[in-house]
Amino acid sequence: MSETETKPFEAQSVAATDMDERLKALQSCSDDCSSDNWDGKGAKAVTTQLREVAELFLKQLPSHIPPPEVEADLDGEINFEWYLEPRKVFSISLNAEGRLSYAGLFGPAKSHGTEMFQDSIPREIILKLDRLFS
């Protein structure tokens, strides 16, 4: 892809190469952001523990959900974003304890909240993603 956008939903399954790319992106942002102040403005480091939790999260995404863009947040969390258009976007930020902070715009509607990622991705999160791609 020439841009960092999520692929169209018509691609109903996640190609292994797509997931590999996302895992590489996770590794890359984890490596690049592993020290405090990685942005020169006080950003917090992404810990190894968080990278491991984030990898589990990525691998547990349902196959019908396109892989997200993966980036470090300035507060040291890992962000997953599905960006379709300005008012069709869903973002999740994960911390090392497994807290998932999420926010989404679904046309005129919006939603935000928190869930915990423990053994599996919470149903609420999957429902939001299904709504985004419906």
Of residues 16 and 108, the one with the C-beta less far from other proteins: 108
Decide if 93 contacts 79 (C-beta within 8 A).
Answer: yes
User: Least CB distance from residue 120 to other proteins, whole Å?
Assistant: 20
Q: Which positions lie near other proteins, rule CB under 8 A?
A: 3-5, 39, 41-44, 69, 71, 73-77, 79, 81, 83, 85-87, 89, 91, 93, 101-105, 110-114
User: Least CB distance from residue 34 to other proteins, whole Å?
Assistant: 15
DSSP 46: P
Of residues 24 and 63, the one with the C-beta less far from other proteins: 24
User: Least CB distance from residue 86 to other proteins, whole Å?
Assistant: 4
Of residues 51 and 77, the one with the C-beta less far from other proteins: 77
User: Least CB distance from residue 99 to other proteins, whole Å?
Assistant: 8
What is the C-alpha separation between 120 and 57, in angstroms, rounded?
Answer: 8
What is the C-alpha separation between 50 and 6, in angstroms, rounded?
Answer: 23
Of residues 67 and 104, the one with the C-beta less far from other proteins: 104
φ/ψ (deg, to 5) at 57 = -60, -50
**What is the CB neighbour count within 10 angstroms for residue 92?**
23
Q: How many residues does the structure list for the chain?
A: 134
What is the C-alpha separation between 133 and 3, in angstroms, rounded?
Answer: 19
